[in-house]
Amino acid sequence: MRNNTVVVIFGPTASGKSKLAIDVCKQLNGEVVSADSMQIYRKMDIGTAKALPEEQQGIPHHLIDIIEPNENYSLENFLKDCESTVDDVLSRGKLPVIAGGTGLYISSFINGVELAEAKIDDDYRKTMETIADTEGNLSIKQLLYGIDKQAYLKLKTNDRKRIIRALEVYRATGKTISQNNEDSQGNSKYNFIIFGLNCENRNVLYERINLRVDEMMKNGLEQEARMLYNSDLSDTARQAIGYKELFGYFNGDKSLEQAVEEIKQYSRNYAKRQITWFKKELNVTWIPIDEKNYEEILKNTVNGIVKNANVCYNKE
């Protein structure tokens, strides 16, 4: 029987998922498949916390550096690319290890979201964004009330991106996001083994984030952002945390110290949103990274994969 096991390692920013994924791959003959909506961009290395070549330790990494910063990339693109990459890794007898922090990417792949649901109607999206710009986010959120009351009650009014996403899904499929996910549950061709990294003590995570930002600045984040400042960037790339704050500094709107503090604050806020998103996923083995040492985390993760995989992996 052909093995169809796919490992998923997710968690908030600075939780150590990239390192864990690499070390799991080293022990179980795997390859990393990135699920990060910012690491897809070339030239955006320091601010997106890409693993350096020496940190990758010879482990192949997929879906990193695949487009230029001025290009657009959608959920539909990711689902197609992720499936083809995972199938290729499996066909070569290797273990795909999906690692990243973009909740929409990961949950959509795990739940088998259909491409029709993921497809973006640019004209419709622009219309919704125009309405929100002129009449406020509440005006588009109210459109959800009659078609997806669950999303209406769940989504915050300032969460414009997900409100529009919910409207798009219903328009494309005639079903709500929840209905689409329910229909797809259990139909995936993959055997997912899912690990979630989390800090029970949020202060530990926030300190890790602060230290990471300081390290990024030492490693040249300001210079990297300045290189991109006058470039033609996609809307998504231009809004990346770590860059947009420095763009404000380059504009003269704030001091460098203020920009760095904003990067830390927005990164902490993003981590909170990531944790909230990931906690919706089912069948997750949660790993409290602030309670165990790294070697114990790695050992437990590897043992959990071997125990639950359809076949055993041995490094060639």
pTM above 0.85, yes or no: no
DSSP states along 117-132: HH---HHHHHHHHHHH
**Tokens 């792949």 correspond to what residue?**
109
Q: Nearest 5°: CA angle at 233, between 48 and 44?
A: 20
- For residue 32, with 0-12 CB atoms within 10 Å meaning exposed, 13-18 middle and 19 or more buried, which class applies? buried
**pLDDT of res. 171:** 82
Residue segments in the chain with a per-residue pLDDT below the cut of 70: 1-2, 114-120, 178, 180-187, 310-316
Decide: 90 and 96 in contact? Cβ < 8 Å.
yes
Name the CA radius of gyration of the chain, rounded. 20
* Residue keyed to tokens 């290189």: 227
Kindly tell me the burial class for residue 189, based on how many C-beta atoms sit within 10 Å of its own C-beta (0-12, 13-18, 19 or more): exposed
117-119-123-125 Cα dihedral, nearest 10 degrees: 60
8-state DSSP, 30: E
Q: Which residue in 24, 1, 64 sits closest to 285, CA to CA?
A: 24
pLDDT value for 316: 47
Backbone φ and ψ for 217, nearest 5 degrees, come out as -65, -40
pLDDT digits (tens, 9 = 90+) for 138-188: 999 999 888 888 888 888 898 888 898 888 888 877 878 767 655 555 567
Question: Is residue 314 classed as helix, strand or coil in its secondary structure?
Answer: coil
